[in-house]
């Protein structure tokens, strides 16, 4: 069904990991961190995040070696904990990927707004219309062949890394140690006033950084999700490790360098996307224009990656009997066209909703991160299970690090977003039940019980939203 001679190369997989993770987040991370933290706590938070994501990365690598017959997160969860866990992982990943595309759309339009002010808000009618057209074009590209899209993605990723490297060099040259170390650990509420309550202690500041840091690593699993399309299966684990090291270095350096150029008060009030206006302050309007163009290219690559990845999950789920066979339909170019069309239609509806929300970007990244935590947690738990069965602490440790980080991280970031995800899971239950019927498989009591609990949570979430007790921002 899938040709290995013409599969995705190691370089293609590495670029997929980097492209899927380096999107809108890296261009706005410095401003989001400055809103909640001084440099010291932010660096400690980066250390904690790095260790947690390293555990996840090593878990992906280990599972690809101990269980090479399994393809990605869906099969890890299904093999480790049963069909319903596989469904929760795959449906959560699908949800996370296309909701994350909404964040890309918002930030891309903000970048266009540097040249055309009517786009600056990211959710004006013209911005939503333009984002919708781009989204449909990317879907059509992937429908015409995933391997073709992956090849194009390599070129886009190289193009978007060049300006980021240029910014790093510029930031190092203009770095001011005295600005970076001013109020390095201290509370900064005395410096300026926020529109919201500002964290007062080091721990609270670190806590405020976590959601931003988790968001910029969403996509680290890109190579794993494409294992079955790789030229060599072993390339997936190599690409994940190389991609992680590159992403950690780039994200830490680019998010922290602005602390050494602008004061925290200035950085926290920079317009979105932050990196554009930091560089504009450094070298003038030409710099801002170049970064805006770079951001548009960057998001195009990330958006393309995240058009490919969610339908890989639904295809795998259909192959494993977790979704109806309809989701696994491949066209003559071996692209899952049914899944792509359905995903695009839902994405279009979400894009239209941007017209009514001023917090679209923050809501999208929070919901996206919450959904992916379910997937990552199941991978980490399966890694622990494999290590336990093999009596190997060396295998257990990465899983423990990853699971602890994901659970603590999402509790810091906001459990209300996990609560919101239950609504989307309930919608997926219809397809899961249909798939069980196709497979002539009876639902277990545990599956029925879990579906009832999640449904009750979803009903409660809807009530909380309608009564204003649960805010969508």
- 289-313 pLDDT, tens digit each: 888 888 888 788 778 777 877 787 8
CB contact set of 113 (below 8 Å; sequence gap of 6+): 119, 120, 121, 122, 127
pLDDT exceeding 90 applies to what percent of the chain?
A: 26
Contact by Cβ (8 Å): 396, 438:
no
pLDDT, tens only, 161-200: 788 888 889 889 999 888 888 878 765 444 444 434 445 6
Q: Are the beta carbons of 57 and 221 closer than 8 angstroms?
A: no
Asked if pLDDT for residue 384 goes beyond 90, the answer is yes
pTM of the model as a whole: 0.82
Higher pLDDT: 368 or 209? It is 209
Print the SS3 string covering the chain: CCCCCCCECHHHHHHHHHHHHCCCHHHHHHHHHHCCCCHHHHHHHHHHHHHHHHHHHHHHHHHHHHCCCCCHHHHHHHHHHCHHHHHHHHHHHHHHHHHHHHHHHHHHHHHHCCCCHHHCCCCCHHHHHHHHHHHHHHHHHHHCCHHHHHHHHHHHHHHHHHHHHHHHHHHHHCCCHHHHHCCCCCCCCCCCCCCCCCCCCHHHHHHHHHHHHHHCCCCCCHHHHCHHHECCCHHHHHHHHHHHHHHHHHHHHHHHHHHHCCCHHHHHCCCCCHHHHHHHHHHCHHHHHHHHHHHHHHHHHHHHHHHHHHHHHHHHHHHCCCCCHHHHCCCCCCCCHHHHHHHHHHHHHHHHHHHHCCCHHHHHHHHHHHHHHHHHHHHHHHHHHHHHHCCCHHHHHHHHHHHHHHHHHHHHHCHHHHHHHHHHHHHHHHHHHHHHHHCCCCCCHHHHHHHHHHHHHHHHHHHHHHCCCCCCC
- If you average pLDDT over residues 284-290, what whole number do you get? 86
- pLDDT: which is higher, 16 or 171: 171
pLDDT, position 448: 95
Tell me the Cα Rg of the chain.
21
Q: How far is CA 230 from CA 17, 41, 220, 222, 469, in A?
A: 13, 40, 16, 12, 46
Distance CA(97)–CA(379), nearest Å, equals: 17
Q: Which residue has the higher pLDDT, 436 or 207?
A: 436
Which tens digits make up the pLDDT trace of 424-435? 899 899 999 999
Average pLDDT value over all residues in the chain: 82
What whole-number distance in Å separates Cα of residue 119 and Cα of residue 117? 5
List pLDDT tens digits, range 131-145. Answer: 899 999 888 888 876
For residue 20 the two structure tokens come to 């899927």
Q: Quick check: 280 and 288 in contact, CB under 8 A? A: yes
Task: Count the alpha carbons within 13 Å of 443 in the hemisphere toward its beta carbon.
Answer: 21
pLDDT digits (tens, 9 = 90+) for 232-267: 777 777 888 888 888 899 899 999 999 999 888 888
Rounded mean pLDDT of 186-215?
64
Helix 285-319 / helix 10-21 crossing angle, nearest 10 deg: 110
Both structure tokens of 140: 């059509």
Q: What is the pLDDT of residues 354-365, one digit of tens each?
A: 776 666 666 677
Six-digit token string for 439 = 């497979």
Q: Which two tokens stand for residue 129?
A: 């219309």
HSE-CB at 369 with a 13 A cutoff on CA atoms is 30
User: CA-CA distance, 75 to 430, in Å (whole number)?
Assistant: 20
**Mean per-residue pLDDT, 18-25:** 70
Q: How many other β-carbons are positioned within 10 Å of the β-carbon of residue 186?
A: 13
Tokens describing residue 223: 């190579």
For residue 359, CA distances in Å to 135, 317, 444 come to 20, 32, 40
**Contact yes or no for 315/1 (Cβ under 8 A):** no
For residue 189, the model assigns a pLDDT of: 47
What is the arithmetic mean of pLDDT over 258-283? 85
CA distance 254 to 335: 36
CA–CA separation, 287 and 171 (whole Å): 12
**Does the pLDDT value for residue 414 go beyond 50?**
yes
């Amino acid at each position: 069904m899938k040709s290995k001679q013409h599969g995705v190369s190691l370089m293609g997989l590495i670029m997929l990991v980097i492209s899927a993770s380096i999107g809108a987040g890296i261009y706005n991370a410095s401003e989001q961190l400055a809103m909640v933290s001084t440099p010291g706590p932010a660096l400690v938070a980066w250390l904690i995040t790095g260790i947690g994501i390293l555990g996840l990365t090593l878990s992906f690598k280990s599972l690809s070696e101990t269980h090479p017959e399994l393809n990605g997160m869906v099969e890890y969860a299904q093999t480790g904990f049963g069909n319903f866990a596989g469904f929760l992982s795959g449906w959560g990943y699908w949800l996370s990927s296309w909701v994350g595309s909404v964040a890309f759309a918002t930030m891309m339009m903000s970048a266009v707004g540097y040249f055309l002010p009517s786009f600056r808000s990211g959710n004006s009618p013209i911005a939503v219309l333009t984002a919708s057209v781009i989204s449909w074009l990317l879907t059509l590209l992937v429908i015409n062949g995933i391997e073709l899209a992956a090849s194009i993605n390599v070129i886009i990723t190289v193009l978007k890394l060049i300006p980021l490297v240029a910014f790093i060099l510029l930031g190092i040259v203009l770095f001011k140690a005295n600005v970076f170390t001013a109020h390095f650990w201290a509370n900064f509420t005395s410096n300026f006033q926020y529109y919201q309550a500002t964290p007062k202690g080091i721990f609270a500041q670190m806590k405020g950084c976590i959601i931003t840091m988790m968001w910029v690593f969403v996509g680290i699993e890109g190579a794993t999700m494409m294992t079955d399309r790789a030229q060599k299966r072993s390339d997936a684990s190599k690409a994940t490790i190389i991609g992680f090291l590159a992403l950690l270095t780039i994200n830490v350096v680019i998010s922290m360098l602005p602390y050494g150029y602008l004061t925290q008060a200035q950085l926290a009030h920079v317009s979105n996307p932050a990196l554009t206006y930091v560089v504009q302050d450094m070298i003038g309007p030409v710099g801002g224009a170049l970064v805006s163009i770079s951001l548009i290219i960057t998001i195009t690559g990330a958006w393309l990656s995240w058009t490919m990845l969610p339908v890989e999950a639904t295809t795998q789920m259909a192959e494993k009997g977790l979704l109806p066979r309809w989701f696994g339909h491949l066209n003559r170019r071996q692209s899952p066209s049914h899944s792509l069309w359905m995903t695009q239609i839902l994405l279009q509806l979400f894009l239209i909703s941007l017209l009514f929300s001023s917090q679209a970007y923050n809501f999208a990244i929070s919901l996206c991160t919450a959904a992916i935590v379910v997937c990552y947690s199941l991978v980490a738990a399966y890694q622990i299970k494999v290590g336990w069965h093999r009596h190997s602490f060396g295998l257990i440790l990465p899983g423990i690090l990853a699971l602890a980080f994901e659970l603590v991280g999402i509790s810091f970031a906001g459990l209300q977003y996990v609560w919101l995800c239950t609504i989307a899971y309930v919608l997926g239950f219809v397809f899961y039940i249909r798939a069980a019927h196709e497979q002539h498989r009876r639902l277990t009591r545990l599956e029925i019980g879990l579906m009832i609990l999640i449904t009750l949570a979803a009903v409660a979430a809807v009530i909380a939203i309608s009564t204003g007790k649960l805010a969508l921002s």
